[in-house]
Amino acid sequence: MSRKELTKTLLLLFSMLGLLSYVFYSSLLPMLLLSPAAAVFYLKRERKKRAEARDEQLKKEFLTGASLLGDYLRSGYSIENAIRGSVSELTEVWGEESGIVQEWKRMDKHMSLNMSAEEAFREFGQRTGIEQIREFSEIFSIVKRSGGKLHETVASVTGLLTEQFAVEEQIRTMTAAKRYEQRIMDVMPIGILLYIRMSSPGLLTVMYTTWTGRLVMTLCLGLYIAAYFWAEKIIAIKV
């Protein structure tokens, strides 16, 4: 994360902790006590989510790069010239700072330093850690060493990747409505408690001034957090 992203994330976290502390305990003391542990957990989770989003974006960009690679190879270009020639087109589609443009330039630089195309692709697949890219690089290396028809292999694998990515996108579209419903259900308990506190301030006084009430509110908060993560796990479908 950049400093700006980190600041924004921490402000959002402390705002959520403050709201939960106010709603469930009518005090900011729990927020102060839980802030260090919550910050570590939340930042780790946010980094993971950002990494997954970055990987999904790179997969889309890689599909474009692989398609262009197949077109260049079919036109008689060598793999080195195909990668070098497709950089400008990838830049037009995804931008200079996109992941695929940086990776293509990295491979081009490695091959200019006498690294073989197979090694460059293998290093690309291993470094990204994305299964589809790693499998593509392995197939590419096998076909390149065996002297097979590289352009046909690239076209075939690109077609399979296109179908797989289309299925993933369809699943995300199908679960989009459920994600929206989940967000509403996440907000409703907080909204109900805030409404009760504003409309009937004395109704929940016993929940904040007695040990039994605090225990009940702590139990409710635990159930609320558990339900949130359970719903996240249910909707997070992996292909």
Q: In the prediction, which pLDDT does 237 show?
A: 63
Question: pLDDT, tens digit, for every residue of 194-225?
Answer: 888 888 877 888 888 888 988 998 899 899 98
**Looking at the 3D structure of the chain, how many domains does it have?**
1
**Cβ–Cβ < 8 Å for 46, 54:** no
Question: pLDDT, tens digit, for every residue of 54-109?
Answer: 888 898 899 899 888 888 888 888 888 988 888 989 999 898 889 899 999 999 89
Q: In the prediction, which pLDDT does 219 show?
A: 93
Assigned domain for 41 exists: no
Is pLDDT above 80 for 231?
yes
Question: pLDDT, tens digit, for every residue of 105-153?
Answer: 999 898 888 888 888 888 888 888 888 888 888 888 888 887 777 788 8
The CATH number assigned to the domain holding 74 equals: 1.20.81
Assigned domain for 27 exists: no
Task: Provide the residue range defining the domain that includes 65.
Answer: 55-167
pTM: 0.74
CB count within 10 Å of CB 161 equals: 19
Q: How far apart are CA 11 and CA 3, in angstroms?
A: 12
Assigned domain for 236 exists: no
Assigned domain for 198 exists: no
